[in-house]
Chain A
Amino acid sequence: MSKYETILSQLKDVAANPKKAMDDYKAETGKGAIGILPLYAPEELVHATGYLPMGIWGGQKTITKARTYLPAFACSIMQQVMELQCEGAYDELAAVLISVPCDTLKCLSQKWKGTSPVIVFTHPQNRGLEAANKFLVEEYKIVKRKLEEIVGEPITNAAIEASIKVYNENRAVMREFVKVAADYPQIIDPVARHAVFKSRMFMEKSKHTALVKELIEEIKAMPVEPWTGKKVVVTGILVEPNELLDIFKENGIAIVADDLAQESRQIRIDVLDGEEAPLYRLAKVWQRMYGCSVATDTKKYRGKMLLDMVEQTGADAIVVAMMKFCDPEEWDYPVMYRQFEEKGVKNIMIEVDQEATAFEQVRTRLQSFVEMM
């Protein structure tokens, strides 16, 4: 096995076994882990405690217990999270951090069935105002105080600054990885690409950065081969399970850029350097966020952003991975669709349901789409 294959295999293992990643971290550091629900959170604050921030983005369970608490039209991530909560999957976490940018998250945050303490905070939606930053700073102060109570130690400004550096570096390296993955689709197929992103949710970020840096170096040492298949930009919340990504691979589709909430939206905005206090700079990230369905955007920039991504990457088309029953994403779709059509950019919507076990409809859609192109 070559070095890059070894690194990819390591990252795939982490992505597939978050529990083991958490147990290893606990054994190594003596500290615990704190869960973080979609979509955005000041993860740097958690990192600054020395605890491991663990992304909680659902799973691939058959939904039974969650039906007691959620209606059938709650998105599949929330169904999965509820199911896993009911099974006690998150009970080893020292705390769970929940932001509430959509109705389902708001409701879920109020009926957490696990035993871990829950820290809920709100992103202001009138984001353009300076008052929004001030509001979010106050929210983050509450988050910080609660974290301190849970871990039993103060979170110093110096620790937050150090974590900001770690996260900014990880985001920069991941943005570089996205470009490398686009240049080497024969090596970084859609499943491997997703694993590199997903593993960052379960690893201490400086360790993840080091591995991805090494991976990039190894891959860049190889020649760039021409890609005979199609290239796409993918947008949505996430593309899982891996069987769905396998269909991209089967049809010779390379993902050359993404706007997935679980992937590139997490690395889009860095925390700026500056004289302001770290909590204020962390809060400003939300104001500077763009192209996301849960962050109010009266200019509807997301479609244009995706069209720019198509131009920059030379992609053939856009794939909208629609999270089933995600109304923020569904509201964005007609606007984006019109923008794509006006520019004559080929596009298709596929439905994402984490509980799915049969993928024939998506297979037909993607195969037809490739034939159409």
Chain B
Amino acid sequence: MYTMGIDVGSASSKVVILENGVNVVAAEVIQVGTGSSGPQRALEKAFEVSGLKMEDMTKIVATGYGRFALKEADKQVSEISCHAKGIFFLVPEARTIIDIGGQDAKAIRLDNKGFVKQFFMNDKCAAGTGRFLDVMARVLEITLDDMAEYDSRATEIASISSTCTVFAESEVISQLSKGVSKENIIAGVHQSVASKACGLAYRGGLEDAVVMTGGVAKNAGVVRAISRELNREVIVAPNPQTTGALGAALFAYEEAKR
């Protein structure tokens, strides 16, 4: 039996196809999200990779910001529940999840059965999210993928004190004009993201293991900053961008078995 999870986020579209609730046969990401061609292209890519087609899917669950816009879905489940489900499947010892996506950040507490005990989300503000990093990468004239490497070469962490993306951008420009190295500024940018995310995690109380997921988890500089701030090891979920879609595929499997 095949089930599908599709996570239509604000910045990317992710599809996971699962065989019998265990084997991942496709996990595809397209870097554009809701309201774009992303969801359709992610579906097409997943079918191409798996050699399967829509009719083969017993159930489809949609999650993410665009979850209600996907007509193929049998059910919509929130991304909080889906990330929790996906992470617990991959890392059963996970008790705290930090998920940083394109436009929001979340801290989720799990119990030992993988159920959500409590969660906190950022308010309507781009600070501490993937969008914040996008803006900073543009100002610094580097790609998102290069940010972690720059961070690894930092000799100190520049102070990016503002919690507002717009003001932080002007702080970065000010640091650049003072001749502070891009490496140190990027370490400061990552520290700023970590401070926001950890603020959410502290509110729910921390319990090991701490697992990081969402697109920003691919940035090792942010992961290091979060680990430093929390003073503990942070596990990065395998293929972190697709854990929400994986959780959705697992929910679809449970739905199909009913």
Contact = CB atoms under 8 A, between A and B. Distances in A.
A368 B81 contact: yes
B119 A351 contact: no
Interface in B77-101: 77-81
Nearest to A324: B123
Interface in A235-277: none
A353 B78 CA distance: 22
A361 B104 contact: yes
Contact of A368 (B116, B117, B124): B116
Contacts, number: 35
Q: Place the interface of chain A in its size category.
A: 10 to 19
A373 to B, nearest CB: 10
A145 interface: no
B81 A371 contact: yes
B47 interface: no
Nearest to A349: B120
A372 B104 contact: no
Interface string A361-373: 1001101100110
A368 B80 contact: yes
B65 A360 contact: yes
Nearest to A356: B124
B124 A372 contact: no
Given A360-B65, A361-B104, A372 B81 contact: yes
Interface residues of B, number: 16
B80 A351 contact: no
Q: Most B CB atoms within 10 A — which of A351, A353, A365, A368?
A: A368
Contacts of B167: none
B78 A371 contact: yes
A365 B121 contact: yes
Nearest to A366: B78
B202 interface: no
A367 B78 CA distance: 6
A140 to B, nearest CB: 39
A368 B78 contact: yes
A368 B119 contact: yes
A277 B78 CA distance: 57
B77 A371 contact: yes
Interface in B83-141: 104, 115-119, 121, 123-124
Contacts of A364: 65, 78-80, 121
16 contacts: A353-B124, A361-B104, A361-B123, A364-B65, A364-B80, A368-B78, A368-B79, A368-B81, A368-B116, A368-B119, A371-B78, A371-B81, A372-B80, A372-B81, A372-B115, A372-B117
Interface of B: 65, 76-81, 104, 115-119, 121, 123-124
Closest 7 pairs (CB-CB, A-B): A368-B80, A368-B78, A367-B78, A371-B81, A372-B116, A364-B78, A351-B123
